Every structure is written in structure tokens, then in C-alpha cells.
Amino acid sequence: MPVPATAAPPAAGTTHLPRHVAIIMDGNGRWAKKRFLPRFAGHKAGVEAVRAVTRAARSMGIEALTLYAFSSENWRRPEEEVSDLMGLLRLFIRTDIDELVRENVRLRVIGDYRRFSADLVAQVEDAIARTANNSGPILVIALNYGAQAEIAAAARRLAAKAADGALDIAHIDEAAIEAELDTSDLPPLDLLIRTSGEVRLSNFLLWQAAYAELLFIDTLWPDFDAAALESAVAEFGRRQRRFGGL
């Protein structure tokens, strides 16, 4: 079973397989543009990369894989593109849920996915329910997710508990905040990867990334495959993690 994010970090300097890997899947549009294809073709190719990488993560023994599928800022994109992304999400759930069930994968969703259409919300919740009792690796999909909103919501919940007298303000510390985050039941984030050459976090797992290893690579997401994940994990293994120590 996963441990809370408040678990003690490994000893400084150790190299090992990351328990929790997160990926900002960037570059679908540029991948399509390079091939003179519509953006939808890039997003469709990106779904194939999701399949390849989730399978590779399972094979490698990674406990949790979190994928940034739709940010709270993505609503600013053209309506047609948002509709295409929603369609691909429906397709992924419909075609891949049986494999997740069969492979003992537990699906989790972080973010306010209930803003989506009622039929898509029902599909997402059915997929979560079908895998809820699985005990193997965790696949986390970030949908309508924004880290700043996540932290603000955690603060509101803590403030409400304090106002009701259920929580002493003096007890609001890092552990209390982590317990209110969407990721509270996941292993601590070890490795955060962003594809496409962009070097920013784009409002993704800002709290959780405090001591994660960050890796920014030029590969466009549709070209990111099992070998690319293995290379990223190998790079993680070469780094020394001090967690503020020597």
C-alpha cells in the first residue's frame, strides 16, 4: 500500500528506483506541426505514448506514475481542441480500462474533473471504481488540475477545521497541509519529467516537487517511449539526493 507523503525521505546519497514519477506531457502540437499534421494527430500520438510509458513504468516496478493530462489553464485553448482532448480521454478510458483491471493497476484522478461533461465524469468515476480494489501500481491522471488551486483548497479546509474548533492553529504544519492535498495517499514524488524542451513546472505538483529531482528533456511527448523512461530513471539513479543535508 502507498505511504503518505509525510514519510521520511531515503538516506542522503542513495540511488534507487523512484517510487513516484510524474510527467508533464508536452509537445504534442509541435510534434504534429513538424509533420504538417493537425494538432489532433499530435494528441492522438500522445495517447499512444501514454500507453507505452504506463506499461514501461509497470514493468520497471515504479509504484506511482502521475501524468499531467489536462491543466486548469487548458480551458483557454480553442473549443475544438478541448473537445478533441475530451474525446481522446473518453477513448483511452473505454479502450484501456480492461487492461488496467487485468494488470492490477489502481487508477486515481487528481484535480477538479467534475467540471467536465456529465457523461465523461461518469466514465471517469466508473473507471476509478473498477480499479479501486486493485493493489498494484497506481496510475494517476491529473485532470483540470492546478497546483495553486490544490494548495488553496487545502488551506480552506484547514481554516474551516480551525474555525469549527476541530484543529488547533498551532498544529497546522507541513504534514497537516500534505494530508489535505490530492496526493496525500501517494508515495512522495521522487522524479518529475517535462518533455519538449520547456523548462518550467506550469502549475504542476508545486508542493510535491519541493525535493523531487527535476528532469527537462527535448524529446516531444509522442516520441517519449519505454527507452526514454528508462533513460530518465537511470539519470535519477546517478543523482545524489541530500534533502537539505550534506
Please indicate if the annotation marks 71 as binding a ligand: yes
**Distance of alpha carbon 183 from alpha carbon 173, whole angstroms:** 17
75 is in an annotated binding site: yes
Residue 207 assigned to a binding site = no
The alpha helices in the chain, defined as continuous H runs, are 28-34, 39-60, 79-102, 118-131, 147-163, 174-180, 226-238
Report the chain's terminal Cα–Cα distance, integer Å. 31
Helix or strand holding residue 138 (H, E): strand 138-145
- What is the C-alpha to C-alpha distance for residues 60 and 233, in angstroms, rounded to an integer? 9
Q: How far apart are CA 226 and CA 230, in angstroms?
A: 6
Question: Strand 106-110 relative to strand 138-145: parallel, antiparallel, unpaired?
Answer: parallel
Task: Centre a 10 Å sphere on the Cβ of residue 167 and count the other Cβ atoms it contains.
Answer: 16
157 is in an annotated binding site: no
134 catalytic? Reply is: no
194 appears as a binding residue in the annotation:
yes
Q: Which of 26, 96, 182, 190 is catalytic?
A: 26
Residue 30, annotated as binding a ligand: yes
* Nearest-angstrom CA–CA distance, 133 and 135: 6
Has 73 been labeled as part of a binding site? yes
200 is in an annotated binding site: yes
Contacts for 88 with CB less than 8 Å, ≥ 6 apart: 43, 44, 47
DSSP 35-70: TT--HHHHHHHHHHHHHHHHHHHHHHT-SEEEEEEE
Q: Is 174 annotated as a binding residue?
A: no
Whether 225 is a known active-site residue: answer: no
Residue 119 annotated as part of some ligand binding site:
no
* Residue 28 labeled ligand binder: yes
**Of residues 74, 84, 134, 223, which has the active-site annotation?**
74
Q: Is 29 annotated as a binding residue?
A: yes
- Annotated binding residue 117: no
Binding residues for Mg(2+): 26, 213
Binding residues: 26-31, 39, 43, 71-73, 75, 77, 194, 200-202, 213
Binding residues for substrate: 27-31, 39, 43, 71-73, 75, 77, 194, 200-202
Catalytic site positions: 26, 74
